[in-house]
Structure 1
Amino acid sequence: MRPGGPSLSSVSADSVSPVTYVIDLDALVPPPFLDAQIQRAGGELTASLDKIGVAIATSSDPAFASRVAKLRGVRTVTEDTMVQWVPQDTEPTMVELDDLVSVEPASVFGSLESFRPLQWAPDAVSAPAAWTAGAIGTGARVAIVDGGIRDTHIDIAPELDVAHSTSFVPGRPFNFDQRVSPATGVCGLTDTFWHGTHVAGIVAAPANNRGTVGIAPGATIIGVKVLHCGSGLFSWVIQGIYYAATPIAEGGAGADVINMSLGAAFDRQGRGAAALAVALGKATTYAYQRGVTVVAALGNNGFDFDHTNNLVFLPAMSPHVVAVAATGPLGFALGATDYDRPASYTNFGQSAVDFAAPGGDDVFEPAAEECTLPRLPSGVVTTNCWVFDLVIAPCRGSGTSNVTYCWADGTSMAAPAVSGVAALIIGKFGRLPPAQVIARLRASADDLGKPGNDDFYGGGRVNALRAVQ
């Protein structure tokens, strides 16, 4: 299952009553003043992001936007937009961890996770060598700005800061998600995947000798739900970034790293999208200024952004965001060791890609061929060979399961690998400003493809060991 398909489009929220508006201010208007002005204009202020000059309001009055646009200090008033940031395609391939499995303590950190033999992605970025060197991300806080997180999963719960996890999706807690029914096209089925759970596990699944291990197994993860069924309003994403980047002492999550494995392509000339992109950019700039490294997936459309000038991919192309392309093997189960092959679907372009990381691929042929790989402490996993080229990580599962793992591919899986390496850097060297984290990522990345900045690898494929040396 590749979160992110060939077409990412926005859907107008004009069917919602009342309508939500994103208000961009050219000055830091005091919230009490703004609240009163919006009420007089026939609306309700639902959120005031006063540190970035953005407000969220709702109104059922068709004249509301034009009234607010005339207020002093208001730059734009834009109807919010519902976007399918993470398209939901097919049912994922899953594997359950036997509750009775018990593995003896590992002599090498992270080496005896039950599904470690199925995990090629940590090896692709030299993460095991970084762990051996003592870098596991302890102390780093990574916000997963995404969908719901399965907070009871055995490879999520130990690293999850429940107290500071939250949701900006009305009526939906951070630890809940659903999926669109293939039969009806309606969001409502209890998913067996949960995109945010998979992403969180790639970043920081602990080395507990069960399941899988994340790139930064000592890091703390914070669930910030901004999507449901893969969709979300621009305002939810903006608020999620703002909250994640705000220090705990000021009412935020206190993240060091924000991971956004979500994205959509927009027409650069589209009036509504352009205004919303400005507000989104204010949020990512705020995060950068608050010392937070922001990482985002660059998307799975196969676009060459060096020659697709009419499109912008958000939030990966927002200011101060690290944009990640994907790589993956072709035939891992049959012995393939080239994990740096550009994924067939990844968006690319020297102007767009900052780094590459393992995201997997699903083009191995013949598609029906089956392969078998070992699991620990004993037993095997048998499935289609192409599945092993994907990235395995925790997922929702069915019923009360807290031991389910799924394979998925996409830049959604590559971004958390970079976030994990950023967490290793912060765990090793302390809370560095994002410019220094990015500089270290760039200086330590493996320069693949043509020398220097490359279409598919940007500044290179991240290298965890070199990043912490």
Structure 2
Amino acid sequence: MALKKNLIHSLVAAACAAAALPAMAADYVLQAAQWGAAQDAAVQAAGGKARFSHASGVAVVESERADFLSQVLASGAIQSGAPDRVAQFTPNVKSFDMPVDASGVPAVISDAFYPYIQWAPQSVKAPQAWGLGYTGKGVRVAVIDGAVWGSHPDLAANVDTAAARSFVAGAPGSCQVKWDCDTGTAWHGTHVAGIIAAPANGLGVVGIAPEATIVPVKALHSGSGSFGAIISAILYAAGEGRADIINMSLGADFNRGDRDAAELVAAMNKAINTATRQGVLVISAAGNDGYDLDHSGNLITTPAMSGNGLAVSSTGPLGFAMGATNTRRISSYTNYGSSMISVAAPGGDFALEGNAPCMLPRANGSPVVIPCWAFDMVISTVRGSGGPGTGSYSWMAGTSMAAPAASAVAALIKQKYPGASVGALKNMLMNSTDDEGKKGHDPYYGRGFVNALKAVSQ
């Protein structure tokens, strides 16, 4: 039981609230009505240098001067600012890895995980949408997260490596600053990318939008990152990255009374709202702490409660490997609240008691035997330990897994209606849900559970 508890704590992936860690004193997030030559000059005169700036009026700046912030605010060209802050936006993940054979190679040989083990695509009726020709083809989904292993054989065909970027600061050439490098073998961003767009290529898993394009934008390393990196990633993805949809399976909690945190959250709001004005739908994970965010007092969960994007809660079965079909059951850990939750999607769970083994088949190869509760989580692509061109698979659970499922359904809609505005895309996603829980908009499901078939049949 202790082993299971340890795994559970590490498998509640992403959107996990965590205490803020101290940031580098040289980094600041600044806001102005707009950003141009006057703002650049003010920053330079105060002894700073812009690391990233955007015409909308948000910039990430570095300076070695202790009085930089007071000096730049005194210029009159900058409206507000705060020292940047690093936080643990996702936990360090210990995944439940795929079994390996005697040679040490993951025992993965076909898309057979899809019909027998991948319950999430079926739960949102993705196969029926594919049957109508909607696979996300031509739609670009930015994954703002940790690293995406772009050479994974079950992802590579759908990853735009040319548009991939990292906004994580670090020593030039280090793993930290590379978009396709992270710590460990799980790589949260790689798992998220597979849920969205793992191709139907005869390998391990199939994404809900299996022909969508993934734009990897790294803002976290080993689960932690700064507000400045995430804000820069959002604005890049919405502009040069040419994203149609941004997925953020990340989050942290802050006190509204913390002045600097409030300023950083305001800058996050501005970035998300700017992306929306540029025609990009932003979708975020709701969080995994079981918080009632309608009655959270001074607590704010960002980016789920930031700007005008959508927040996604999680569902998952209890005993899938033993025949349970309750894939729309609310996950035991998900944050909730009518004021925040827009829709619900499959994120998995781990609440089944005990460690009894269960066995499920694959179309090819030997059956998979793991603890029954692990099958209730979401299986997807991960880094693994091999070299380029290799990869592996793991199960994870969290609103981090639910958000990309919703993003993928949005991609199917965008394929059908490529000219749809953000407002229209939001409405089509929410209006096509299945009304679960209490009738109408409720705290756990929001407008309802996403339904790919209904979404593309509008």
The TM-score with structure 2 as length reference comes to: 0.92
Q: Find 1:21's aligned residue among 24, 28, 36.
A: 28
Give the structure 1 partner of residue 150 of structure 2.
Answer: 151
Q: Aligned to 2:61, what secondary structure does the other structure show?
A: strand
Take 1:81 and 1:443, find their aligned partners in 2: how far apart are those partners?
Answer: 37
- AA partner of residue 241 (structure 2): A
Give the structure 1 partner of residue 71 of structure 2.
Answer: 67
Take 2:225 and 2:130, find their aligned partners in 1: how far apart are those partners?
Answer: 36
Shift of 1:96: 5.5
- AA partner of residue 2 (structure 1): V
Take 1:61 and 1:128, find their aligned partners in 2: how far apart are those partners?
Answer: 57
Whether 1:363 aligns to 2:351 is: yes
Q: Find 1:392's aligned residue among 379, 388, 392.
A: 379
Shift in alpha-carbon separation, 1:99–1:411, aligned structure 2, 3 A: closer
Q: Deviations over 1:385-432 (max 9, x none)?
A: 110000000001113272310000000000000000000001122141
- AA partner of residue 261 (structure 2): A
Give the structure 2 partner of residue 193 of structure 1.
Answer: 186
Shift of 1:295: 0.4
What pairs up with 1:31-430 in 2 under 5 angstroms?
Answer: 32-50=37-55, 52-95=56-99, 112-170=111-169, 171=172, 172-178=177-183, 191-246=184-239, 252-366=240-354, 368-400=355-387, 402-430=390-418
Q: Find 1:448's aligned residue among 436, 450, 458.
A: 436
Take 2:115 and 2:403, find their aligned partners in 1: how far apart are those partners?
Answer: 20
Q: Deviations over 1:366-400 (max 9, x none)?
A: 1x200000012232000111100000000011132
Q: Aligned to 2:264, what secondary structure does the other structure show?
A: helix
Take 2:280 and 2:220, find their aligned partners in 1: how far apart are those partners?
Answer: 21
Shift of 1:6: 6.2
Contact 2:16 2:90 in 1 (8 A): no
Shift of 1:116: 3.7
Take 1:102 and 1:47, find their aligned partners in 2: how far apart are those partners?
Answer: 43
Take 1:284 and 1:121, find their aligned partners in 2: how far apart are those partners?
Answer: 28
Take 1:317 and 1:73, find their aligned partners in 2: how far apart are those partners?
Answer: 29
Q: Deviations over 1:329-373 (max 9, x none)?
A: 00000000010111000000111110000000011111x200000
Contact 1:95 1:404 in 2 (8 A): no
Q: Aligned to 1:354, what secondary structure does the other structure show?
A: strand
Take 1:319 and 1:256, find their aligned partners in 2: how far apart are those partners?
Answer: 17
Take 1:348 and 1:134, find their aligned partners in 2: how far apart are those partners?
Answer: 34
Q: Which range is displaced more, 84-93 or 440-449?
A: 84-93
Shift of 1:156: 1.0
Contact 2:73 2:80 in 1 (8 A): yes
- AA partner of residue 13 (structure 2): P
Take 2:50 and 2:289, find their aligned partners in 1: how far apart are those partners?
Answer: 37
Contact 1:95 1:406 in 2 (8 A): no
Shift of 1:34: 2.3
Take 2:67 and 2:436, find their aligned partners in 1: how far apart are those partners?
Answer: 55
Q: Aligned to 2:423, what secondary structure does the other structure show?
A: helix
Take 1:413 and 1:266, find their aligned partners in 2: how far apart are those partners?
Answer: 22
Contact 1:256 1:431 in 2 (8 A): no
- AA partner of residue 452 (structure 1): G
Shift in alpha-carbon separation, 1:371–1:29, aligned structure 2, 3 A: closer
User: RMSD across aligned C-alpha pairs, in angstroms?
Assistant: 1.7
- AA partner of residue 53 (structure 1): G
Unaligned runs of 5+ in 2: 1-10
Contact 2:148 2:189 in 1 (8 A): yes
Unaligned runs of 5+ in 1: 104-111, 179-190, 247-251
Take 1:174 and 1:143, find their aligned partners in 2: how far apart are those partners?
Answer: 13
Shift in alpha-carbon separation, 1:205–1:431, aligned structure 2, 3 A: farther
Q: Deviations over 1:305-339 (max 9, x none)?
A: 11113111111111111100000000000000010
How many residue pairs get matched? 437
Q: Deviations over 1:126-171 (max 9, x none)?
A: 1111111111111110000110011111111010011101111134
- AA partner of residue 271 (structure 1): R
Contact 1:96 1:403 in 2 (8 A): no
The TM-score with structure 1 as length reference comes to: 0.90
Q: Which range is displaced more, 55-64 or 118-127?
A: 55-64
- AA partner of residue 196 (structure 2): V
Q: Aligned to 1:74, what secondary structure does the other structure show?
A: coil
